Amino acid sequence: MRWWPRSWRQFWSTLDGRTYHMMLSARPWIGWLAVGSMVIVFALVFWWVPLEAIQGYPQKIFYIHVPSAWVMYAAFGVVFASSILYLWKRTSLWDIFARCAAEVGFLFTTLALATGMLWGKPIWGTFWTWDARLTSTLILWFIYGGYMLVRAFARPDAEVARLAAVVGIIGFLDVPIIHLSVLWWRTLHPQPVVMIIDDPGGGLPASMLITLLASLVAVSLVFAWLWIQRVWQERTAENLALLEALLERRERSAR
C-alpha cells in the first residue's frame, strides 16, 4: 500500500485502510512491548520509587490510577474522531475503530474508578466522596455505558453505526463542560480532604515523575494492544460473515 497519498481527498479516503494496515503490522510485537513495560513499571513502583511522606503506601496507587484516567480520555478521543470519520466516509472500518475504542475505554474507565475508590478508602476513610475528578469519571462511565447500550439495543433496520457515532460525538463534546461544572460545584462546596500529591502544580520529585511517565507509556501500550486486537477480531468476523454469505449464496444456486 502506497504510503504517501496523491491528494487530500485520497488521504482521507484511504486513512482507514492505512491505519488498519499499521495496526496489523504492530499486532505481533505490541503485546510483548506492553507486557514488558508493565513489568518494568511494576518493578519501579514496588522497589524503586520512594514512599510519599503524607499518604504512605496508598499513594502508590497513583501510578496506575492516573494512567488509567488518561487512557480513558484518549480512548474517548479515538471514539470521537472515528465517529466523525464514519459519518463522513461511511466505511465499516471507522465504525469498528469507534466501537472497539469504546469497549476498551469503558474497561479503563472502570479501572480508573476502581483504583480511585481503593485509593480513597485509606486516605479519606470512605470508598466514595464526591470529589471533582471521581465524580466526572463516574459520569463518563455512564456516557460510555450509554454509547454501548445504544449499540446493543439498536433496531436491525436502523443503522446502528450511525446512531452510535452521533452519540459518541455529542458525548465527547460534553465531557469538558461536565468537568468544568463539576469542578465549580466542588469549589463552591469544598470537600474536607483533597488529594495532595496529584496536583501537577505541586511539583513532583523526579523519581515519582519518571515512574508516572513510564506507567503512562506502559498503560497506553496496553490500551493500544487491546484496541488493535479487538479491531482485528471485529474485522475478521466481518470478513468471515461475508465469506459465509457468499458460500450460502453459491450453495443455494447450486441446488
Partner 1 sequence: MTWYLSAYAVFWAVLFGYLMGVSNRQQKLVERAEHLTRRLSESATDAKGGSRS
Partner 2 sequence: MGWRAAGAILVKDLRLELRRVETVATMVVFAVLVALIFVFAGDPTPADLRRLGPGALWVSLLFAGALGFGRWFAQEERNQALQGLLVSPVDRAALFAGKWAGAIVFLLALECALVPATVTMYQLDLRGAWGELALLLVVVTVGYSALGTFFAAVAARTTAGELLLPILLFPLSVPLLLAGAEGGQALIEGGRLGDYWSWLSLAAAFDVIFGTVCTLAFEYVIEE
Q: How far from 254 is each of 16, 245, 248, 250, CA to CA, in Å?
A: 36, 14, 10, 6
For residue 247, state whether it binds partner 1 (rule: CB under 8 A): yes
Taking a C-beta distance cutoff of 8 angstroms, is the pair 151, 95 a contact? no
| Under rule CB under 8 A, residue 133 binds partner 1 | no
The alpha carbon of residue 176 and the mean position of all alpha carbons in its chain are separated, in whole angstroms, by: 16
For residue 177, the partner it binds in partner 1, partner 2, none, with Cβ less than 5 to 8 A by kind, is partner 2
Residue closer to partner 1, measured from CB, 132 or 226: 226
Answer positive or negative: Cα dihedral of 225, 231, 235, 240.
positive
Which residues, numbered 26-55, are part of the site for partner 1 (CB under 8 A)? 42
154: left (phi over 0), alpha (psi -120 to 50) or beta: beta
Identify what 254 binds: partner 2, partner 1, none; CB under 5 to 8 Å per kind: partner 1
Cβ atoms of residues 154 and 163 within 8 Å: yes
Minimum distance from residue 140 beta carbon to partner 1 (Å) = 17
Candidate list 96, 222, 224, 231; residue touching partner 1; CB under 8 A: 222
**Which residues are registered as beta bridge partners of 173?**
none
Nearer to partner 2 by C-beta: 3 or 153?
Answer: 153
Give how many residues touch partner 2 by CB under 8 A.
31
Which helix (H) or strand (E) segment is 51 a member of?
Answer: none
Residues contributing to the site for partner 1 (CB under 8 A): 42, 57-58, 60-61, 64-65, 68, 107, 110-111, 114-115, 118-119, 121-122, 222, 226, 229-230, 233, 236-237, 240, 243-244, 247, 250-251, 254
